[in-house]
Structure 1
Amino acid sequence: MKFIHRLGFYLGGFAVGLLFLAFFLSGKRTSCAYGPEARVLKNIRLKTMTYSEDIAENLKVRALDSAAITNILTNGDVNFKKSDTKRDSCNIYYIEGIHQEKEIFLTIANCENKTQLLKIED
């Protein structure tokens, strides 16, 4: 078989594969969280978040709402050096994000069934 025929078959199969992937990965809830940071942030976002009254006051003072926290959890970075991931019950993650051109630092306890916002810093 000539090289041009093999190349044609290869490119044809490649095009069919791309169409297949585009069709199946175009769903609303499809995501590819391969890295550890993306997996942690996705895991935290999927669980119910709770916080204390002190944290609620802190959110009001900083003019943050649940949409801002969700934005930080979507676009933020996990600082694994400051995080405590070796705990038995709830791992503690230190998340750095930007909201309205201000850097915000969240400390979140990621338990099995829920997450808890422990601290907010500027």
Structure 2
Amino acid sequence: MKLRFRLAFYLFGLFLGIFAVVQFLGAKAEAKGVMFCYLPNCRVLKDLRSKSLNYSPEAKATLEENWVNLDDIKKTLEFGDVDFSKSNKAYKKGKIYIIEGQNSSNEEITVTMINFTDKVLLEKIEKK
């Protein structure tokens, strides 16, 4: 058998095997609620979402202004972007994280959070 036929059969079997493994592992992960979260942005947001959320007086006052609500903060914690150049620094016995996202009116917002070992403090919310 010529080399190109052997190579074609090999590649066909390889792609078929990869497809089967992805289908099997994908269905298994979806059934257990597992998500791929190995990138730094995803890991930080997942850690912040997993802890209890407390509010500073400044954040409570901003939430009462009605241009941003708690759902916007939750969406920012799920789909936002962490600014690592300003984040992951020691601050008040925790680490500070600056997260950029959008509110329900599609306005850019910046959320400042302090991550402690057992809780997360919503420090402030700003419009960009």
Task: Report deviation, 1:88.
Answer: 8.7
Q: Percent identity?
A: 31
Partner of 1:61: 65
Separation in structure 2 between the aligned mates of residue 23 and residue 64 of structure 1, nearest angstrom = 41
Q: How many residues get paired?
A: 122
Return the letter of the residue paired with 1:15.
L
Q: Is the 8 A contact 2:52 2:120 kept in 1?
A: yes
CA RMSD of aligned residues (A): 2.3
Task: Report deviation, 1:15.
Answer: 1.7
Separation in structure 2 between the aligned mates of residue 32 and residue 76 of structure 1, nearest angstrom = 16
Closer, same or farther: CA 78–5 of 1 in aligned 2, 3 Å: same
TM-score (norm 2): 0.78
Return the letter of the residue paired with 1:9.
Y
TM-score (norm 1): 0.81
Partner of 2:79: 75
Answer with 106-115 or 22-31: which moved more: 22-31
2:21 is paired with a residue whose SS is helix
Moved over 4 A (4+): none
Return the letter of the residue paired with 2:78.
T
